[in-house]
Structure 1
Amino acid sequence: MAIVSLLVLLAILMVKWWSNRRRADLTNKLPGPYHYPFFGALPHFLFSPDKTWRYLHKFAKADALPIYKTLVLNTLYVNLMVPEDIQVLLSSGKYLNKGQTYQLLEPWVGKGLFNSSGMKWRERRKMTAPAFSIGTMRKFVEAFKEHAERFTQLIERESKNEYTEIDSLVSKGTMHAVCETVMGTKLDEDNEEVGKYLAASHRIGELFIHQLSRPWYAFLPIYPLTP
């Protein structure tokens, strides 16, 4: 049964591969890391997330590439390296559809503004726009200033160490600022529940990267059954 399922899966992938030949003709013009037959750049993603990131960063930086591609099985990723190019894409009202990568986050965040597309995104963005107006943001200037000063002091203390994991510090500072400005709740510095939430969020991030770097986990019904 397992062999039959594997053969069916391979057949589906082959059909999709043939149907996307035009896309392949266009993307072949883009630079990218070495792509193996059928598997594409998949072998480069089988390492730890840190090692994979360092490999791709070194690859792009070595040739000062403004854009490069990575094709993992049948999933194409186009990576922009120039801020001006990213600005053009993000400010466009045409390209609003989220990639299939965002679907991996639905079991955690549901279907909201973060991962919705098209008209649904427009409608929900319009609903939240008043909360981000200049007048509204001015009300929180003092809170932003207080949290920024507190974060600066924390960084100064940490600078005495040989190294510091900045991600956890930024996450904690952001959580305190969001709770005070959005929810109207000022948290204690050593709030145990905040620590638990941040630890859980960090773990979800690790699982997301692990799932993202292993395309066979992209089938959402299968992923919960994996160890």
Structure 2
Amino acid sequence: MLFLPPMQSFYLQWINQIGFNWTTWFVLTSILIIGWVCWRNSRYVRLINTVPGPEGLPILGNLLELNVGQVEFLRIVHREWVEKHGPIYRGWGGSRAIVCISSPELMEPILASQKLITKGKEYSYLSKWLGACMFLTTGQRWRSRRRLLTPAFHFQILENFFDVFNDQSHQLIKELETAADSCPKVDGSVNVYKILTQCALDIICDSSMGRQVRKREETAGYLHSINRITQIVMERSLRPWLDSDLMFNLSSLGRENRQCVQILHDFTNQVIRDRKKTLNVNNNQTDSGDQIKSQPENSPKRRLAFLDLLIQASENGDKLSDDDIREEVDTFMFAGHDTTATAMSWFLYCIARNPDEQKLLFDEVDEIFEDDERPCTPQDAANLKYLDCCIKETLRMYPSIPGVMRTITEDTEIGGYVLPAGLSVALLIYGMHRNPKVYPEPDVFKPERFLPEHSANRHPYAFLPFSAGPRNCIGQKYAIFELKVVLSWVLRKFEFSLSDPCCPAVSASSEIVLKPVDGIHLTVKPRKPRSIAA
């Protein structure tokens, strides 16, 4: 080579380099092919593929079929594939498998288990926002946090929130009256979803966080960020290349996610600072803790149990750090308003589409309250039997959380199939609630399904708006009380209808929370007093 002309020497080196690269690529490709073949024939994959499911493409799996909007995603995953493949089926998103379950009998072994309590990997996408909160964590940390927070939702404490529910209901009525008076004359409809979302946020801030939110501009960024961050989680879960935190953080979605997290943290940090200031915790945490404990049961400080409990537990950093408090506050701010806002909105939509059932609700609230302006009490809430049935039927048709994810931590047999450890399982609550084998005529609003004589023999896991088992929703009693008080006030004051009864049904979007795509637009009219109506 030393005697070759410079140009020839250059070409020879270039050819040698090309040959080396081709060899390298051949070796790497061979390794990848062999690895893929070994993986496809592994016990893990073979066990999953015994479960029926849609055919997928090599490497991509079913990604192309699910490259759709959230409305279509809900229809395909919760309805079409359940009907085609049965109550348990599997799907592949690249190399990630998910087994979907949509029957109460098959969900029970997972939900009732004290061992299978690990959340699905997909929930880790929320960790930048919610940290290691009770909702996301597992094992001993989850158990200790659950024991710490459960007393805040004791029935006697929840009763003390009724004054907040009633006060905020009065504000809601004013908002609905103003919106109805100022709505366009074309169809006269009001987007009740937007108004109810603000109402639910005010309630959770006032009742559980000790801070009444008055300025709407203060909450606009918070509400927008929550809505967007839940959409980002769904978008990321359908893009395997964004599973890596590194790739996600470099993407436009990652940058937007960071902006949303900052807005949400700023809001909740302000909530915590304001409450600490009220309790004088910054000056003397021990004294303020003693004061809280000594308050009468019905005092304002005593009823603000949730955040107070977290602050007390953080004394000297023994149990909860400031970050721990913020993580739990973020979780309950989100869960405590977003789910109830959608539930109230879907409820009004359902009764607007079903005027006969709405009339029965009017009869019930008129009988109990008799045109009186008195507050709704815990006893009233217990007596609102038909309202309870209508709320449950709404949550059946439109469960606030359409599905939950679990990671199988040990080989588990379900429905005759062995699900291997490490597998993600999706419990399709929406799909199960709309399964005709579980609920005949599932798309028909029939509140009588939940009368005692019709529900006594139903499978205990056939109705899961708040999940079930050891990881059920800790705030479900709070949510039901809030729904009953707010909706009983709304039914006393207004009647609801569709501006066009022949219009297509409102589409639901499959996000973390089952939201209406473009809000809930209804015609809102003041009710006449019963004596005049009669």
Give the TM interval when normalised to the shorter protein. 0.7 to 0.9
Residues 1:172 and 2:198 aligned together:
yes
- 1:148, 1:85 → 2: CA distance? 40
Question: Aligned match of 1:203 in 228, 232, 235?
Answer: 228
SS of the residue 2:210 aligns to? coil
CA shift for structure 1 position 19: 7.8
CA shift for structure 1 position 172: 3.1
Q: Deviations over 1:187-219 (max 9, x none)?
A: 23x621112200011111121111111011010
**What's 2:244 paired with?**
219
Letter in 2 for 1:62: E
**What's 1:181 paired with?**
207
Question: Aligned match of 2:119 in 92, 95, 98?
Answer: 98
SS of the residue 2:189 aligns to? coil
Percent identity between the aligned chains?
Answer: 25
Question: Aligned match of 1:79 in 100, 108, 128?
Answer: 100
Which structure has more RCO (C-alpha within 8 Å, separation ≥ 6)? 2
Residues 1:123 and 2:144 aligned together:
yes
- Contact 1:16–1:74 (8 Å) recurs in 2: no
Question: Aligned match of 2:76 in 55, 69, 73?
Answer: 55
CA shift for structure 1 position 52: 2.4
SS of the residue 2:241 aligns to? helix
- 1:16, 1:176 → 2: CA distance? 56
Residues 1:136 and 2:157 aligned together:
yes
Q: Which runs of 5+ in 1 are unaligned?
A: none
Q: Which runs of 5+ in 2 are unaligned?
A: 1-24, 253-534
**What's 2:86 paired with?**
65
- 1:170, 1:85 → 2: CA distance? 35
- Contact 2:60–2:94 (8 Å) recurs in 1: yes
Q: Deviations over 1:128-176 (max 9, x none)?
A: 111122222222134345556876995x9699639x584x555434322
Distance 1:15 1:114, change over 3 A: farther
CA shift for structure 1 position 115: 0.8
SS of the residue 1:70 aligns to? strand
Distance 1:215 1:145, change over 3 A: farther
Q: Tell me whether 50-59 or 216-225 shows the greater mean CA deviation.
A: 50-59
**What's 2:130 paired with?**
109
Distance 1:74 1:146, change over 3 A: farther
Question: Aligned match of 2:189 in 161, 181, 194?
Answer: 161
SS of the residue 2:92 aligns to? strand
Question: Aligned match of 1:30 in 51, 54, 62?
Answer: 51
Across the aligned residues of Structure 1 and Structure 2, the Cα RMSD in angstroms comes to: 3.7
Letter in 2 for 1:198: L
Distance 1:105 1:170, change over 3 A: farther
Structure with the greater alpha carbon radius of gyration: 2
SS of the residue 1:208 aligns to? helix
Distance 1:171 1:25, change over 3 A: farther
Q: Tell me whether 26-35 or 214-223 shows the greater mean CA deviation.
A: 26-35
Q: Tell me whether 64-73 or 37-46 shows the greater mean CA deviation.
A: 64-73
Matched pairs, number: 218
Letter in 1 for 2:189: N
Distance 1:75 1:150, change over 3 A: farther
- Contact 1:71–1:77 (8 Å) recurs in 2: yes
- 1:211, 1:46 → 2: CA distance? 12
CA shift for structure 1 position 51: 2.6
Letter in 2 for 1:213: L
SS of the residue 1:210 aligns to? helix
- Contact 2:82–2:89 (8 Å) recurs in 1: no
Q: Provide TM-score, normalisation by structure 2.
A: 0.36
Letter in 1 for 2:204: V
CA shift for structure 1 position 84: 5.6
